[in-house]
Amino acid sequence: MWFVLIVLALGLYIYRKIFQPLQFWKVRNIPYEKPLPIVGNLLDSILKRKSLSEILTELYFKYSKHRYFGFFSFRTPTLMINDVDLAKQICIKDFEYFADHRIFIPKGIDKMWDKLIFIREGAEWQEHRKISSASFTLGKLRVMFSNLSKCAQRIMTSLHKNNKMVTGNMRPFIMKIANDFTLDAFMGIQCDSFNDPDNALLKVAVNTYLNPRMKGFLFFGTAYNTFPFLTKFFQWKFFPDTGRDFYRKIVRETLEYREKHNITRIDMLHLLNEGLLENLRENKKDPDNDEVQDEIVSQLMGMYFANFDSFTLTLCNCMYELALNPDIQERLIREIDETWANCEGNLPHDTLMGMTYMDMVYKELMRLRGNAILAERIVTKPYTIQPVLPHEKPVHLKVGQDITFPLYSYMRDPKFFPDPYKFDPERFNEENKHKIDNRAYLPFGEGPRKCIAFRLISVEIRLMLFHLLLRFRFVPTEKTVIPFVESKRHNILTSEHGYFINMEPRKDIDETYF
Ligand code: HEM
């Protein structure tokens, strides 16, 4: 008798936990992709048979007659928004109903992670987005530009010293540039990872941001959400404690040094520190506690990670596309040489950002090879999607419902971008740029939650590309895999086979430039 009861109870538990959630979209009468227990619609991704972008894009086209459809990210039901007008409505007009991102890791496990702007919720997010946004305005970027420029030139000098061909997988190589560039640009810390590859800063960065747990993170981010008990049980953290302690020390020492020597350097560290202190003063709180330091440390760690990773991948993707499209590369080199000659070795921010062809290349790069595959939101107030198409009924969304925007798929839709897999900067030329549908061109997301650093990364990539192409040409090698194969192991857009490109020192450079 007891045995039968236990079996029944277990059966009921398994049904409720594993099988019942699979009915989520069916009972709501919403078109959906049939899921499997536990893995939902991600089996091909888990088995590395398809990249996440491939899975989402296949479904985007399969459900193209629908404005939305149901998807299961493991056990979590998420509403995929296929229609770019509906996406805009959710992200901008009705933002207050969809104000937060997914949190990925249950709160309280990783205190540094909980403080990130991306993760913060409600009024707290608003307050901290405001503080951090001050570091990313056009005005602040113009002020920071001279440091960024000096830093790019310093890295190039170190790199170009031997005038040798750089060969092999560009990813670890660009990572060194990203490390030196990010540390200098954000905190004024100079390190030379080309001549000193064993420096502690690079080592900690690699261990903190690229450890195996981190690598799996973006994929298992959904698993964190789906199986929070595992995360709690194993105390999985995004930022390892060693990395946190290391950056805490750096931040403390740098701030103390600046104060002692009366140094004001306008960079991320300075602006964040000022913003937080100002905020605390306004709220009449004590500015001298560990919380403030940790606040700065976690924001810097988050931004350092975002910059280190996205800068590396974007630049690698850019090198790949230019190596495969020598005509585009040559035209860009001509524009760079002319600009450099005209500005007599002192490149101003507005001149860089005003370069016409550079702008076209950058925008196309972000369309085809931007790293973000999707953006997501959580319903924060009950909301109803009103019917528009004849087959639709009102969809009532409850608080906590997960929403996904397949940004990658919008930008691969031929109705918005003809011949979408072609790298074609001409889409953004004077004649064509007004045809770009901004509802679908969303490399950085949309609305108040849009990427806070979209201006910064745009300056950084253009600046580094400018300096690299002043001295080098990118050429494919016999190891370059053509066409581009997207990684099935990562949930951001990166190459499955690395970036085997040669950087050949240019023979046609006018040495008087340097
Ligand atoms: C190629 C580079 C990058 C791409 C493609 C990218 C893309 C994105 C996307 C798609 C989002 C979500 C937007 C949304 O939900 O609507 C986002 C958010 C965010 N990004 Fe980026 N990003 C990049 C670089 C960076 C960098 C360098 C930083 C920091 C220095 C950064 C900081 C953030 C932050 C803090 C958020 C959260 C904003 C919020 O929730 O208010 N990103 N990014």
Residue spans per domain, the chain: 31-69+80-513
- CA-nearest residue for atom 21, ligand 1, is 451
Cα–Cα distance measured from residue 183 to residue 176, given in angstroms and rounded to the nearest whole number: 11
* Mean pLDDT score, 24-49: 93
| Residues contacting 205, CB < 8 A, separation 6+ | 179, 304, 308
Alpha-carbon torsion angle 454, 457, 462, 463, nearest 10: 140
Report the separation in Å between the CA atom of 2 and the middle of ligand 1, taken as the mean of its atom positions. 55
State whether ipTM is beyond 0.90. yes
pLDDT-above-70 percentage for the chain = 94
Q: Looking at domain 31-69+80-513, what is its CATH homologous superfamily? A: Cytochrome P450 (1.10.630.10)
Length of the chain counted residue by residue: 514
Question: What confidence tens digit (pLDDT) does each residue in 349-368 have?
Answer: 999 999 999 999 999 999 99
pLDDT for 351: 97
| Residue ranges at the known binding site | 451
In sign, the C-alpha dihedral spanning 433, 438, 440, 446 is: positive
pLDDT at 213 over 60: no
Ligand 1 centroid to residue 394 C-alpha, Å: 32
Question: How many Å lie between the centroid of ligand 1 and the Cα of residue 205?
Answer: 19
Which numbered atom of ligand 1 lies nearest the CA of 374? 10
65-87 tens-digit pLDDT: 999 999 999 888 999 999 999 99
Mutate to test the pocket of ligand 1, among 444, 449, 465, 494 (most ligand atoms within 8 A of CB): 444
List the residue whose alpha carbon is closest to atom 29 of ligand 1.
303
Rounded to whole angstroms, the Cα distance separating 505 from 469 reads 9
